[in-house]
A and B are shown apart, each in its own frame.
Chain A
């Protein structure tokens, strides 16, 4: 059964179905979107149930030709890393659609169709097993977000949308050049002209080749993440977009950048990653500190959460740049955690903003007295966001920090500052909005209603689940993470005792390749 293809196609069908829905028929539009997102979620859960957790390679491989003579193929698969990102995507998009069904935006057909298209783009991105397909989906998800920001955004939406696209495209078009160059140069080394990610793993490029090829990809990744100083698009996009779009940008789209590092950067260009290791670590640290400091001084709730997200993504990037299996494991865990937590935080911000009509932190206060449920859930989210021991984020950040500490104690030490700052800004947000004297608006209106519970409870449940059993995620992804990190570990010269996966040279020496046939790539 072509699981992944079905999972990718369902949202596309839902988006296309919106064309048939008569104009003004909001009910049907909601139903179509809910069915699309729901079915995708169900399918992905079923796929997860059939997932082999100890197998490090690709699973659920779907393969079909497109323009095979130039290396364009439809090849999708998941491994222990991408399956969690796919679960994150399907889950969060289902929640986003639920949120939108209760608070229908104007022109709901178009908005819901774009949301479904964005979901398709992200699912395709996280499952593509071919560099060109990766690029196709990378760009494809940009288009719906461009329209969602441009058509439903605030006053400065035009500038915000164009900035968002141009920033991202600067990186991604150079990535396209890099993709082409990768295939051409790898062809010279291995004798195979291919864009298949598995077949291109650990190709024996010279150091400059590896560095330059990676540089093209890296720019795209750090802009998408974003890391300081490539975050220029972020403030405008976060300020002007509808809250659902901001949540999805922070929770899922940003993961595309991290995923790129993990899927392409480490395994394909280990020498390049060794070269760029400290630059990335440095940018990640600056992002953590800068994001935290800026978040602390933000006047509005959404910008505070937005910048906190920048800091958290710095943590995740640090986990990958540490080139350590444990840190990378933590990064994968944290990708899921951050997605869930930041969506919950944005959902609460959205609820408060729509009910009180205010977004400025100074205008909101004392909500806890009249809205105890909201404040209780907000407290859980706040604690998760600052990674207090016992929360879901704790395990992830702990893995990242301890993995980083092993080789670069100073980086871990600086990153610790971020943890401290997190409590500063998150507690500022919580205290000033929930405690203290009531300011502005009628706090009773803010209390959670059924529609909010539908959105928040699943998120809280996932948080609790991961907090209690992080090893479910960690266990199922560790084999893939180890395999992804191992080539880069060899490149930076880690002791063999730390390398937890076999690194095969590519191309294999003639004697070995005839015996095992591993270069063939994607096989279940």
Chain B
């Protein structure tokens, strides 16, 4: 039974190996399609496995890994993002020989994420984050012939290593303070903690916030984000912006909303300040971007700020809001990147905002999806982004963090400046592109996944009721050790 609980990460890790091997096959057809198909099928099996485990609470691997509502929900988020990323990269122009590596690396990263989501102790959190980080360093630099891609990989490697060391240091301090790496035991010892351990705890908390702040690309630890996002292959960027960010937040929740919930006063202000700074810096810097990938990078910094509001609240409502917003955020961000990916294949400068001039009229479907994504990111009701923001502000208000809610609202106003600019360029701009428009026939998996993201933006809002019940159960599972 205990091994069964560890099935999702094991399946995904095995899939990664299989995908890698499929990429080495002599037949060209297998080399071309095999890795992607194997990776998607394997991850879907893991997803089904996770769904079957819904409702169970199982501890496996000697307390290092556990299955509960939260980990299942995050498994689904990660696998969903990974599958859509793989679908979006179908027919990517990069060499066929690289397919095996690509699919295997995405799958490996997913396996690492799944470990973090189900982490029962500090070691597993760090291990999972490192597994996915190493995979992502390579993924960023996958387009070896592009200097930007290499630069992106190198930058991410250096900054990622710095972030990881902060995190490790913080986790070590937490271990030193409480005498245990097990999250449940840490929580138990903190409830009866005497106050003389507090300075150590402060250091631990600060270092962990910094370390995870790097991973979540929250300001002021965000400097790497625009360059890395811009340089990496766009599907990889989409994966990083959604799944990797979700990992950082599941780690935040596992540590802060779990064992550290009783000492909320030590970290609430710190996380609140990081959230506020992220919202302000992300939104203001995004205003002046002309490259869509950079703009989305800054937007993702701001979105990390909104998500941190929910973490800072330090309540079940806060965690629930984070979970719902992560779902919505993944759908909107993937939708936006999907359209950029398609446009990049049509024209050379497809990531420039200028190349989208009049795009809405030329391709109403893709323009519509992009519009939906932008409006939802900006928080227009009744889209899912709005419901997420509403819940986050509500969670902040409940803890009387009024200033955070107000900064969040003002940040949303600023964000209109760039989100609506995209919409404006697409629909109000002149279609008079100097070069003849290259409107490719987009392959069906790409269209399908783009449409799926659009449907998700609407669907999450329409079925917010049942979805919130799921999120609430997941959030509750953080508290019960």
Contacts and interface: CB of A to CB of B under 8 A. Distances in A.
Interface string A59-70: 000000111111
Contact of A174 (B409, B417, B469, B472): B409
A180 B465 contact: no
Contacts, number: 94
Interface stretch (B76-84, B190-198, B272-280, B386-394): B386-394
Nearest to B414: A166
A184 B427 contact: no
Given A66-B465, A158-B428, A169-B413, A136 B393 contact: no
A67 B382 CA distance: 12
A493 B413 CA distance: 38
Contacts of B135: none
Contact of B428 (A143, A161, A176, A183): A161
A177 B390 contact: no
B468 interface: yes
Interface in B369-383: 375, 379-382
Given A180-B394, A184-B397, A184-B398, A135 B413 contact: no
Contact of A67 (B406, B409, B416, B468): B468
A173 interface: yes
Given A158-B428, A166-B413, A70 B468 contact: yes
Contact of B420 (A65, A67, A165, A181): A165
B454 to A, nearest CB: 14
A343 to B, nearest CB: 26
Contacts of B406: 174, 177
Contacts of A136: 381-382, 386
B381 A66 contact: no
A157 B429 CA distance: 11
A55 interface: no
Contacts of B468: 67, 69-70
Contacts of B427: 147, 150-151
A294 interface: no
Contacts of A142: 380
A161 B381 contact: no
Contact of B405 (A66, A67, A181, A183): A181
Given A173-B413, A177-B397, A150 B424 contact: yes
A488 B420 CA distance: 39
Nearest to B469: A69
B390 A176 contact: yes
Nearest to B466: A67
B380 to A, nearest CB: 5
A135 B398 CA distance: 19
A151 B431 CA distance: 13
Interface string B404-434: 0110111011001100110010011000000
Nearest to A138: B381
A72 B413 contact: no
Given A66-B465, A67-B468, A162 B394 contact: no
A107 to B, nearest CB: 8
A205 B379 CA distance: 29
Contacts of A161: 424, 428
A300 to B, nearest CB: 23
Contacts of B58: none
A128 B302 CA distance: 31
A269 B65 CA distance: 51
Contact of A169 (B382, B416, B465): B416
A216 to B, nearest CB: 9
Nearest to A162: B420
9 contacts: A66-B464, A67-B468, A70-B464, A136-B382, A139-B386, A162-B416, A169-B416, A170-B410, A176-B393
Interface of B: 375, 379-382, 386-387, 389-391, 393-394, 397-398, 402, 405-406, 408-410, 412-413, 416-417, 420-421, 424, 427-428, 464-465, 468-469, 472
Given A162-B417, A174-B406, A177-B393, 14 more contacts: A66-B464, A67-B387, A70-B390, A70-B391, A72-B387, A72-B390, A72-B464, A136-B381, A140-B380, A162-B421, A173-B410, A173-B412, A181-B402, A184-B397
